Amino acid sequence: MSGVLAVLEQRDGVLRKVSFEVATAARRVGTKVDAVVCSSPGPEACATAIAERAKSGGYGVVVFAATATGKDLAPRVAAKLGVAVASDVTDLAAEGDAIVATRPVYAGKALQKIRVLGKPAVVSVRPNIFTPDARASQEKPETLSVASPGRVVVREIKAAPAGMLDVAEAQVIISGGRGLKEPANFKVLEDLAKAFGGRAAVGASRAVVDAGWRPHADQVGQTGKTVSPSLYFAIGISGAIQHLAGMRTSKVIVAINKDKDAPIFKVADYGVVGDLFEIVPKLTDEIRKLHG
């Protein structure tokens, strides 16, 4: 089996958590894994550098993270290598000479198993699915140097307010829906998030994003983000199929809803039926006690 090229991500010089997942996924399909990062404000330049490295190194597999950056970069690299990306995969294995990948399709209502015949095979892995192994944290990637950024240039990154964790990266997500009744009530969920001490982010259903209560960046679901945290709270969310599309691969799902027949209870591991305004503050107290 030929080598595997793991394309890691960093921001402000620090490797992102998903990079360790990429390295871990890479080791599933090969023993010789080389890791690279590319830091250029131009995705075109990075794509050229990575494609050249993939070719000159004769790698059999190239692994990306299916993050906003990876989803943009992977197909640029793949096209230069004459193949497509097996994108957003949740499982990956080497079977003989080929790579076999599993990916959720149809809003997570089915899993597609595909054989990736391209040489190299280019895949991107869904964040929060591949648990980093012990070796991952020691990853020392080679930095690819890039001369000019190319035609497409990132001029600025408007960062989210400090201390705000992105739903796509949080270990715990507290999502709220129309059951919150009005935007100010999201404070109840923010308090619960705070009780988790920096590990939790507040998410939202599309109904409350469309109503302008919450930013689109917080939306979970088919037209929002796909998340797989360790713990997902759906609070005052009915559980429409398009919402489930974004969170059904979460490890543990808790639903709090006053309607005992709400579809969210069908996917929840634990459900509490009742008024969220009575239940959530109590829960916040209990979590605070644990962490305090």
Rg, Å, the chain Cα set: 20
Q: Residues 167 to 186: which contact other proteins by CB under 8 A?
A: 168-169, 172
Single out the segment in contact with other proteins by CB under 8 A; choices: 29-37, 55-63, 153-161, 175-183: 153-161
Task: Provide the mask over 177-196, with x wherever binding to ligand FAD is found by CB under 6 A and - wherever it is not.
Answer: xxx-----------------
Structure tokens given for 86: 């097996």
| Size of the chain, expressed as the number of residues it contains | 292
Shortest Å distance, C-beta 207 to ligand FAD: 3
Shortest Å distance, C-beta 220 to ligand FAD: 6
Q: Residues 46 to 75: which contact other proteins by CB under 8 A?
A: 67-69, 71-72, 74-75
Q: Residues 140 to 179: which contact ligand FAD by CB under 6 A?
A: 177-179
* C-beta of 64 vs 186, nearer to other proteins: 64
* C-beta of 1 vs 111, nearer to other proteins: 111
* C-beta of 48 vs 128, nearer to ligand FAD: 128
Shortest Å distance, C-beta 205 to ligand FAD: 3
SS3 assignment, position 219: strand
CB-based burial label for 255 (10 Å; 0-12, 13-18, 19+) = buried
Structure tokens given for 32: 């010789």
SS3 assignment, position 259: coil
Candidate residues 221, 249, 255, 268; the one interacting with ligand FAD per rule CB under 6 A = 221
SS3 assignment, position 113: strand
At residue 62, what is the residue type? V
Candidate residues 238, 249, 250, 284; the one interacting with ligand FAD per rule CB under 6 A = 238
CA neighbor of 219 nearest in space, from 185, 200, 242, 248: 242
Structure tokens given for 209: 């994003």
By CB under 8 A, residue 211 contacts other proteins: no
Q: Alpha-carbon distance 77 to 74, whole Å?
A: 5
> What is the torsional sign of CA 219, 89, 79, 11?
positive
* C-beta of 73 vs 136, nearer to other proteins: 73
Q: Pairing mode, if any, of strands 110-116 and 98-105?
A: antiparallel
Query: Which residues bind to ligand FAD, rule: CB under 6 A?
Result: 177-179, 205-208, 219-224, 236-238, 240, 242-243, 246, 256-259, 262, 275-277
